[in-house]
Amino acid sequence: MEIVAALLGDERHCLERLKKANAVSQENAVKPEEAGISGFSLERALQTLIKRGKVKTTADGRYYVECKDKKHC
């Protein structure tokens, strides 16, 4: 159970870092290191978020959280 909680925490941390870097659209997408996402556990969490459709990627390897509106970002 602790492992699952840690993984969810890492995912939440990635989302928060991307939002803090204003990576909320394709135009504002950033590289992971620009958002402070580094290390095995955070990089793994980022890949999980991509697979789940919560984080999008650009053709040049940048990432962003797709925000449909400010309430659900």
Cβ atoms of 21 and 35 within 8 Å: the answer is: yes
pLDDT greater than 60 at residue 6: no
- The reported pTM is 0.82
CB 32: neighbour CB atoms within 10 A?
Answer: 20
Whether residue 8 has pLDDT greater than 90 = no
Domain holding 61, by residue range, is 2-72
First to last CA, the chain: 27
| 55 in Cβ contact with 49 (< 8 Å) | yes
pLDDT 10s digits, 14-39: 999 999 999 999 999 999 999 999 99
Contact 37, 46 (CB under 8 A): yes
How many domains, in total, are found in the chain?
1
CATH classification at residue 25 = 1.10.10
